[in-house]
Amino acid sequence: MSRRSHPIQFSLKWRFTIGLAALLLLTISALGWLVLREIKLDQQQKVETDLKQRSELASLRVRQIYLSGSALDDVPTFLRRRGTELAADLSALLNGTHVMLYDSNGKEIGNSMPLSGSADVKDIMVYAKQGKIVYEQSGDSLIYLAPIIWSVGQVGIVQLQLSLKADQAFYSSIALSLRNIGLAALAVSFLLGFIYVQRVTSALRKLRAAADQIRAGHYIGQSPIRRRDELGELSEGITYMSREIEQSLARQKQFIGSVSHEFKTPLTSIIAYSDLLDMYRDDPKLLDEAIVNIRQEADRLLEMVVKVLHLSEMEQYEFSLHAENLDVQESLNAVCSRLRGKAAQFNISIETDLEAAMIRADRESFMHIFLNLLDNAIKYNVPGGSIHIKCRADSNKAVIVIRDTGIGIPEEARAKLFEPFYTVSKDRARLSGGTGLGLSLVKRLVELQQGTVVYSEPPSAAQGSQFTVTFPLLSKKNLQA
């Protein structure tokens, strides 16, 4: 089955980089546009206020000159006669602004710069004659018309022409700077973004390569990338997963190896007996021996098959637990009564000292655990020996101790006791019909109930073995439920 079917058409790197560039461009353009618009509005406002003040000043000046004269002429005549002179005077007053004067009908009566020609203002003059302030832009200058209004009414119109060159130059230089800064910022952030994304995608590629490697069965021992972010965590996770898979595979291989090996011995023995029986068909002694031995080996095989199946069920999570509120005292008594007969056969007594304790566990698993432990305590006991089972309720757990007066377990064997197929010595396993699977089953079952099981040293004077099992006690809350 092929896992990857589509080649990557548009890599993350390019999506990210192009997206980032578009976003930056948009931001910079919007900012630039806003700044330039503000500048333009500001300039316009300044020019307007400036021209308004100048036109008012001009109007006042004309009135002052008229009044300070002999005032022989009427106003229109005064303006017509002295228009050119007035325009020059106003221009001087207004720092050399180009000033033109018109009478109330819009006819030119004075021009401070007669040689420079005059712009065509016919369109806006209409409004100026109606007493309104109007202006228009022509090329790089602004033409501003303001009525001269006295108490007698509108007597004329003053036209101011202002060069906008300086403002325009300022505006263009700002626009240019903004563009340059914007482009530089764009380039730098694009580059940085690209480098960053490049590094992220390279990390992702490494992770993918690692995943491919694991898929092909080459497990990795070291994290393919080292980063202190989510990618680093992902990498650690993948490495951990790889190690777990490798270990679990190794365990499985070892288990299968042991199973095949352990199955071989009883089968070889059975085959050997059938060969012997074939050769010595009428040896009654051999027949008796064969019946006993074949039965024993077959029993051992059957027990092994049952336990291996049980163990593998648990490995494969098909194992279902039906947790229920369990009375430890009652359940242990049930286990004991099941094994009392077998113990009596070997002249072994079972003594109990059980405090009341409630736990939450699967009943069948619980029985299995203690049947196995008790069975061992009988199997590896001595004739006339005894077994003590004690249960007490600790602050938050039930502690169950099983002690026997049997042959004990040598110190060097204790570490491996719970491994599948481990037997302290083949001989004693053979004698007792052991498979070496009992304790590994016990451990798995106990752990599935959130419990612990350990081999614990028996009191110094006593000989034998002692196992301690604990389970979390049922909390008060659950007890009422």
Binding positions for ligand ADP, rule: CB under 6 A? 376-377, 380, 404, 406-409, 417, 422-424, 428-429, 434-440, 465
User: Which residue, 182 or 408, is less far from ligand ADP as judged by CB?
Assistant: 408
3 state SS of 109: strand
User: Which residue, 110 or 406, is less far from ligand ADP as judged by CB?
Assistant: 406
AA identity, residue 429: A
Shortest distance, CB of residue 437 to ligand ADP, whole angstroms? 6
User: Which residue, 210 or 439, is less far from ligand ADP as judged by CB?
Assistant: 439
Shortest distance, CB of residue 359 to ligand ADP, whole angstroms? 23
How far is residue 367's CA from residue 324's CA, in Å, rounded to a whole number?
13
The dihedral over CA atoms of 108, 110, 113, 114, expressed in degrees to the nearest 10, equals 60
Shortest distance, CB of residue 351 to ligand ADP, whole angstroms? 15
User: Nearest to residue 323, comparing CAs of 465, 154, 466, 451?
Assistant: 451
Shortest distance, CB of residue 259 to ligand ADP, whole angstroms? 14
Shortest distance, CB of residue 340 to ligand ADP, whole angstroms? 17
- For 191, the token pair is 């580059």
How far is residue 209's CA from residue 352's CA, in Å, rounded to a whole number?
60
- For 276, the token pair is 């012997």
User: Which residue, 224 or 438, is less far from ligand ADP as judged by CB?
Assistant: 438
* 8-state DSSP, 473: B
Shortest distance, CB of residue 377 to ligand ADP, whole angstroms? 5
- For 372, the token pair is 């196995």
AA identity, residue 15: R
User: Which residue, 159 or 423, is less far from ligand ADP as judged by CB?
Assistant: 423
Which residues, 6 or more positions from 119, have their beta carbon under 8 angstroms from its beta carbon? 138, 141, 143, 161
User: Which residue, 156 or 406, is less far from ligand ADP as judged by CB?
Assistant: 406
How far is residue 477's CA from residue 357's CA, in Å, rounded to a whole number?
15
How far is residue 174's CA from residue 93's CA, in Å, rounded to a whole number?
32
| Maximal C-alpha separation, the chain | 171
Which residues, 6 or more positions from 226, have their beta carbon under 8 angstroms from its beta carbon? 232, 235
User: Which residue, 13 or 307, is less far from ligand ADP as judged by CB?
Assistant: 307
User: Which residue, 62 or 424, is less far from ligand ADP as judged by CB?
Assistant: 424
Shortest distance, CB of residue 409 to ligand ADP, whole angstroms? 5
AA identity, residue 307: K
Q: What b/e string do you get for 99-132 counting C-beta neighbours within 10 Å, with b at 16 or more?
A: bbbbbbeeebbbbbbeeeeeeebeebbeebbeee
Shortest distance, CB of residue 393 to ligand ADP, whole angstroms? 24
By beta carbon distance, the residue nearest ligand ADP is 434
Shortest distance, CB of residue 387 to ligand ADP, whole angstroms? 9
Q: How far is CA 70 from CA 73, 220, 336, 339, in A?
A: 8, 111, 142, 145
Q: How far is CA 195 from CA 15, 184, 191, in A?
A: 14, 16, 6
Shortest distance, CB of residue 376 to ligand ADP, whole angstroms? 3
CB 23 within 8 A of CB 212: no
User: Which residue, 83 or 434, is less far from ligand ADP as judged by CB?
Assistant: 434
User: Which residue, 386 or 465, is less far from ligand ADP as judged by CB?
Assistant: 465
- Structural element, H or E, at residue 367: helix 363-379
Shortest distance, CB of residue 289 to ligand ADP, whole angstroms? 23
User: Which residue, 295 or 426, is less far from ligand ADP as judged by CB?
Assistant: 426
